Amino acid sequence: MLRVTYIGHATLLIEVGGKRLLTDPNFDLALGKFLPRVSAPGIALDALPELDAILLTHAHADHLSFDSLDALPDDIPLFAPPSIAKWLGKRGYRHALGLAPGEAAELEGVTIHAASATHKGNRYGIDRWRSATNMYLIDTNKASCFFAGDTALTADTMRLVENHLAPHGRNLDVALLPIGHAPWWKPGFRKGHLTSSDALALFELLKAKYFIPYHWGTFNHVTSTAFDAIDRLRATLQGHPLHPAVKILEPGTSFVLPTTVS
């Protein structure tokens, strides 16, 4: 079984192969001092089921919340890019494990493959050595799920799927892709992010069976509201042939991969 529950922003609960993985946990009431959360987490932090691992893609505050990490179990692996894992280890998170692009980790039947994303993920302006950003492919050989973190649409974005699934004649089951929006006067946005249209194009290139968008409906941003990207995606999907395969989850709702899909 593969079940994905949208908690908010880039925080999703992925249940597959008998394991539960939490991505980029952020349950904060606000992003920084000026951007309050506009919708409650779909699952309260203290109501989460028992977890088997945490996947962290990069150090940006909307993806890495120290308050959330402090409230989560510290006896399970916290996978992150090596530079981020080293930094977290020095801060007392001894369960942080580096997973470099090209490497994989095993969780008793669940394989987590890592690749580099096109995104500058350093937390502060001066810490460019912490800019590494991961993407992850979660695979049981029966069900697969791609979590893109934050990334741009490039020729390399599909490599995890092409390298690990295509050679075995398998298609990706679920693509978890971020959607964002920037005004016309912010042309650099797409160098490290996906717009809703970019995410839909990537979904087609990945040849995935289903697409679940995230990174929406949680925090307002300086240049866009929390709902700009999802509103544009919904508008684009009207009459689009792939509309039935796009599963827009409200916080707290889940998608279960149909059992007829292998």
Q: For residue 129, what pLDDT band results from cuts at 50, 70 and 90?
A: confident
CATH 3.30.470.10 matches 2-170+249-256: no
Q: For residue 11, what pLDDT band results from cuts at 50, 70 and 90?
A: very high
Count of other CB atoms within 10 angstroms of residue 32: 11
For tokens 């028992």, the residue is: 50
Asked if the model's pLDDT at residue 182 lies above 90, the reply is: no
The answer to whether the Cα torsion of 29, 35, 41, 45 is positive or negative is negative
What is the per-residue pLDDT for 260? 60
What is the per-residue pLDDT for 186? 85
* Greatest mean pLDDT range, 28-32, 171-175, 236-240: 171-175
**Both tokens of residue 68?**
């959330």
What is the per-residue pLDDT for 191? 92
What is the per-residue pLDDT for 34? 84
Read off the amino acid at residue 103. E
Alpha-helical regions (H) of 91-195 = 159-164
**Both tokens of residue 228?**
């700009």
Reduce the DSSP state of residue 31 to 3 states and report it: strand
Nearest CA to 91 out of 123, 118, 116 is that of: 123
* Averaged pLDDT, 223-239: 95
pTM of this prediction?
0.96
Asked if the model's pLDDT at residue 118 lies above 50, the reply is: yes
pLDDT in tens, 158-172: 999 999 999 999 999
Q: What value does the mean pLDDT of the chain take?
A: 94
